[in-house]
Chains A and B, each alone.
Chain A
Amino acid sequence: MCLAIPGKIVEINGDMAIVDYGSEKREAKIVEEGYGLGDFVIVQGKIVIEKVPEEEVKQWLELLK
């Protein structure tokens, strides 16, 4: 399923990323180029749909805690 908060890419194997949400890690597919280790991303339905600038991450977490 999906979490509506940014997670951090901590591992990439081919086109599969491991996304770390702090409390848990989930696998998601990278469909577009331009994502790398350390990027904060939004996943929906097991695909990475958007990158979140690091300066926005705190705002997201405060809003949707």
Chain B
Amino acid sequence: MKPEVFFLKYSFPCALICQQMGEIDEAEVKELEDAATTSVPLPREKLERIFFRAFKRIDSIAEELGRDRWDLDVLEEFFLKRHNEIVEKGFEISGKVPRTLKELCKVHVAEIVEKKGDVLIVKFGNKTRPVHNKLVPEAKVGDLVTIHYGYAVEIVS
């Protein structure tokens, strides 16, 4: 997978936060979603501008690993290994972050327990959440997927 596509699949669900903060508009969120669901790579400069908070973290991982910020290993390390700890510490937003927001923002591995049209009910820990299947239309009950906000991102099983 191209690094731009991998990055966008994991990052676009949280674009709604950027939208809420007035950094991007509804049309841009839609453009990000369309690009993510069709695996179209967007220009790096655009992604770096919108998700500047993520890249602050990615850059420190890149430096630590001696790689480029767009190296797929660096992006995987960020989203799949370090991201949740960063969220737990309160990410780049000042002020107290509510528990529910932190949990939505984390990347979880979840099992699909039910499929209702284009919505998947997934189970992780002792709770369930409905998520869109747009990024993984082939996913079926029993599959393990990564989830971010209201989207299943990748099949991992």
Q: Which A residues are within 8 Å of any B CB, using their own CB?
A: 1-5, 29, 31-32, 42, 44-45, 47-53, 56, 59-60, 62-64
Q: Which residues of B contact A1 (CB under 8 A)?
A: 19, 26, 29-30
Q: A49-B131, A51-B100, A63-B97 are in contact. List 12 more A-B contacts (CB 8 A).
A: A1-B19, A3-B16, A4-B16, A4-B17, A44-B13, A44-B151, A47-B130, A53-B100, A56-B99, A59-B96, A62-B95, A64-B17
Chain A residue, CB-CB nearest to B18: A4
B63-121: which residues lie under 8 A (CB-CB) from chain A?
Answer: 93, 95-101, 103-104, 116, 119, 121
Known A2-B16, A4-B16; contact A47-B132, beta-carbon cutoff 8 A = yes
The answer for the CA separation of A63 and B21 in the assembled complex, in Å, is 9
Binding site for A on B (CB under 8 A): 13, 16-17, 19-21, 26, 29-30, 33, 93, 95-101, 103-104, 116, 119, 121, 128-132, 134, 149-151
Interchain Cβ contacts within 8 Å, total number: 74
B13: nearest residue on chain A (CB-CB)?
A44
A60 pairs with B101, CB closer than 8 A: yes
Instruction: Decide if the interface of chain A is mainly helix, strand, loop or mixed.
Output: mixed
In the assembled complex, the Cα of A5 lies from the Cα of B16 at a distance in Å of: 9
| Min CB gap A41→B, angstroms | 10
Question: Which of these, A45, A50, A62, contacts B100 with CB under 8 Å?
Answer: A50
Looking at A1, A45, A47, the one whose CB has the most chain B CB atoms below 10 A away is A45
Q: How far is the CA of A3 from the CA of B15 in the complex (A)?
A: 10
A48 closest partner in B (C-beta): B130
Contact check, A31 vs B130: say whether CB atoms are below 8 A apart: yes
B96 and A63 contact, CB distance less than 8 A: yes
User: Could you tell me if A31 and B119 are in contact, using CB atoms closer than 8 angstroms?
Assistant: yes
Q: Assess whether A63 is in contact with B98, with CB atoms less than 8 Å apart.
A: yes
Please, could you name 21 A-B residue pairs with CB atoms under 8 Å apart, sorted by A?
A: A1-B26, A3-B16, A31-B119, A32-B128, A42-B100, A44-B13, A44-B16, A44-B151, A45-B150, A47-B130, A47-B132, A49-B130, A50-B100, A50-B103, A51-B100, A56-B99, A59-B98, A63-B93, A63-B97, A64-B17, A64-B21
